[in-house]
Structures are given as C-alpha cells and as structure tokens.
Amino acid sequence: MDNFSYCTPTKYVFGRGAELHAAEELKSLGLRNVLVCYGGGSVVRSGLLQRVLATLDEAGIKHVELGGIQPNPTDPKVREGIAIGRAEGIDGLLAVGGGSVIDTAKAIAAGVPYDGDFWDFWAGKATIRTALPVGVVLTIPAAGSEGSGNSVITLLDGMHKISLRTDFWLRPKFALMNPELTFTLPPEQTAAGIADMMAHIFERYFSLTESTEVTDRVAEGVLMAIMEEAPKVMADPSDYQARANIMWSGTLAHNGICGTGRREDWVSHAMEHEISAVYGVTHGAGLAVVFPAWMTFMAEHRPQRGAQLARRVLGVVPTGSDRDDALEGVARLRSFFSSLGLPVTMAQLGVDQPDIDLLVSKLHENKGERFGGYYEITPEVSAAIYRLAI
C-alpha cells in the first residue's frame, strides 16, 4: 500500500426529497448569491429547476442562471459563466444536473476568483489556490463529479479534452441525491452512466501497487453491487431501490475510496476522451468500447489484475492461467455491457472507420509520448488498443 492523503469533505444528503435541502445547505455555507448551472431542457420540463429555485427564493438567496450546458462541456460556456459570475458578484454555485453541468460549475468556481485565464489550470500552467464553493443537485449517476475533485473540460480550439484533478478545491461542498430524479433517464443514458462508474473503478483497480487488499475488496464490492442492480434499473426505470444503489455506487466509484493507497491508471479514460472529442460520442458508451479493448491487450501483456477481477467479480472459475481467466473476464464484461444495450465496438458506437492515426496523435499530444500507471502506453500500444476496439 502506498502512502496517501485522502479527504472527502462533501456532505451527501441522499434520498427522496433531497433536492429540497438546497437552500438550507447553501445557507449553512453562508452563501447569499449563487450561479445556478444546468443543462438541456429536462430539468426545466420536469419542474426540478423551479422546485429548487423556489427553495432559494423562499430563503432569500439571490440567484442568476446559466442554462444550456452541453455534454462534453467546452470552454466557451465556462467563460460565459465566469463573466456572469463576476458581473453579478456571486459567492457560490449550484449545479443542477449531471457530470457536464457539475464540471462546468467547478471550472467557473475556479475561474471567477482567478486573475488569469481559467484554462491555465487545465493546461497545467497554474495551480488552483482558491475556488468558490459548489453545491450539487445530482440528476445523472455516472461521472461521480458530485463527490470528486475532478472536472473535465474540452478546449474547443484544437478539441483538447482535459481532466483536471484536485485533492480539495474542486470537491463539491454538498451533493443532494434523490434517486427518483433518475427515473426518467433514457435507457441509453442509464447504461452509459453504469459503464462510466464501472470504468472509474477499473482505472483505480488496475494498479501495480501491491498489498492493497482492503481497497481491492471495497472496489470489487462496489462493482458487484453495480452488476447486481444494473439489470433491475434497465428492466424497471422506476425501481427506487435499484436506482438508489446505482446512484450511491456512482459516487463511491469516483470519490476516491476505491483508490486509496495505490497508483491509478486512467489510460482508458484518456483514450476515450479522444474518441469523444473527435466523434462526439457519449463518454460512458465510449468507455464500454475502450475498456474491454484495453483489458484484452492487458490480458496478453500483464494479466494479473484482470484475472483477479475476473475471478472475484465476474464469476470466472480459475483455469490456472491468468491470461485465460482475464480473457474470459473480458468476454463476460462485454456480454454484460451488451445486455445493457451498450456498444462494445467502435462500429456499434457509430464510428465505422475510426481515424486511428488521428486518435493516437491527439492522445500522445495531450498525454506525452509515454504514459500510464498499469502499463506503459506508447503510440504503438495505443494504436494496438484502438484497433482492438474496432
């Protein structure tokens, strides 16, 4: 187990009616004037936004709005939010939505008090020293941004999709999580969210750090719970208990508890980010394609962790060969993803002839010639993995 420092100060308020605590939580942080961020029309149509804003009005909390945040959020919306936030003198943000909305709110929170361009942080040119507090009303269990210190933003100029990770500043102060709000998610979005949260665990699970038994077991436990509950939410989108388990799993998958004490990987996310940036696919669906391809390569080149995953989580009966166990695990994972209606090939993702040279060159432009926690990714290796995804 490696040395680590771990702090998750986010207050989770979970259950029916959780969103109605928005004003109370903002007030307990001393906030009086917030920017409310949201995405497309669903939070408006469902009445959720109005319900939340009504609690703010009642509590005398001033608010301005920033709507229309798109999936795979980009820098112009962040800049728009920073400008509004400064003009209105906001002292905090409330994100009502999923990962894209939350990540945009986090970027605005870092950008408002910063003298330079917010992208400096994402480009690695500056370190966040302060940020406005962010609260969340979660509507999509997937990205885990409600409990993480991360934010993924794409710079439109050059389509650079970058994930920034902070220990503290970008962690939401509170997350209001009502599973009922997820009943109306379309099946493909529910499924993509499930792939996303599983991927967040895989990135932490595939590690060269040894002797991390307790972190392994926690990670395996959350994965088993997701695989148990996923078919239930697909079969009955209004199954409160299954939705609740999936929603909480999405948070645990990415708030760091599945990664304590070990070096993580994050190669598959980086590889998928390029696919999302170039082809505009849903992040979670892209991960359902990339991760099994990456695991297939690893089964041939470094099979130990995939084999443990296969045996402990995917029900593979040990054959005596790590490679064979790991490959059988990948087959079962693909079959599980398919059962949720997820794509498992680039073709199923709607990308018939992916430009692998372009993906590889953009990947290494962003991540460097060699990178990766579990296995060193060179351009040859990434090309091979992208080919396994076709």
Q: Which is nearer to a copy of itself, 98 or 256 (CB)?
A: 256
8 binds a copy of itself (CB under 8 A): yes
Shortest distance, position 96 Cβ to a copy of itself, whole Å: 19
Shortest distance, position 345 Cβ to a copy of itself, whole Å: 30
218 binds a copy of itself (CB under 8 A): yes
Q: Among the candidate windows 44-52, 79-87, 208-216, 269-277, which touches a copy of itself by CB under 8 A?
A: 208-216
226 binds a copy of itself (CB under 8 A): yes
Decide: 139 and 48 in contact? Cβ < 8 Å: yes
- Given 117, 180, 188, 220, the residue binding a copy of itself (CB under 8 A): 220
- Given 57, 157, 213, 376, the residue binding a copy of itself (CB under 8 A): 213
129 binds a copy of itself (CB under 8 A): no
The DSSP-derived string for 285-350 is HHHHHHHHHHHHHHHHH--HHHHHHHHHTS-PPP-S-HHHHHHHHHHHHHHHHHHTT---STTTTT
321 binds a copy of itself (CB under 8 A): no
CA gap 317, 315 in Å, rounded: 6
Cα Rg of the chain (Å, integer): 20
Contacts from 15-20 at CB under 8 Å and sequence distance 24+? 15/177, 15/178, 15/179, 15/244, 16/178, 16/179, 16/180, 16/240, 17/178, 18/137, 18/176, 18/177, 18/178, 19/48, 19/51, 19/52, 19/137, 19/176, 19/178, 19/181, 20/51, 20/52, 20/55
Q: In what order do the strands lie in the sheet with 134-138?
A: 62-66, 33-38, 92-97, 134-138, 174-177
Reported as type and span, the H/E element at residue 138 is strand 134-138
Q: Which is nearer to a copy of itself, 164 or 219 (CB)?
A: 219
261 binds a copy of itself (CB under 8 A): yes
Q: Which is nearer to a copy of itself, 51 or 232 (CB)?
A: 232
Q: Which is nearer to a copy of itself, 120 or 220 (CB)?
A: 220
228 binds a copy of itself (CB under 8 A): yes
Q: Which is nearer to a copy of itself, 162 or 233 (CB)?
A: 233
3 binds a copy of itself (CB under 8 A): yes
Closest CA to 141 of 104, 109, 181: 181
Sequence-distant (6+) residues with CB within 8 A of 111 are: 78, 79, 81, 82, 85, 118
CA gap 111, 126 in Å, rounded: 12
114 binds a copy of itself (CB under 8 A): no
Reported as type and span, the H/E element at residue 122 is helix 119-122
φ and ψ at residue 163, rounded to 5 degrees: -100, 120
Q: Which is nearer to a copy of itself, 24 or 355 (CB)?
A: 24
Q: x/- site string to a copy of itself, residues 15 to 34, per CB under 8 A?
A: xxxx----------------
φ and ψ at residue 115, rounded to 5 degrees: -70, -35
Shortest distance, position 260 Cβ to a copy of itself, whole Å: 7
Closest CA to 43 of 123, 121, 109, 136: 136
241 binds a copy of itself (CB under 8 A): yes
Q: Which is nearer to a copy of itself, 117 or 220 (CB)?
A: 220
Q: Among the candidate windows 116-124, 242-250, 303-311, 358-366, which touches a copy of itself by CB under 8 A?
A: 242-250
130 binds a copy of itself (CB under 8 A): no
Q: Which is nearer to a copy of itself, 17 or 280 (CB)?
A: 17
**Site size for a copy of itself (CB under 8 A):** 46
Q: Which is nearer to a copy of itself, 156 or 214 (CB)?
A: 214
- Given 81, 216, 310, 349, the residue binding a copy of itself (CB under 8 A): 216
Reported as type and span, the H/E element at residue 200 is helix 187-205
Q: Among the candidate windows 81-89, 198-206, 245-253, 334-342, which touches a copy of itself by CB under 8 A?
A: 245-253
Q: Which is nearer to a copy of itself, 26 or 344 (CB)?
A: 26
357 binds a copy of itself (CB under 8 A): no
225 binds a copy of itself (CB under 8 A): yes
Amino acid type, 303 = P
φ and ψ at residue 102, rounded to 5 degrees: -65, -45
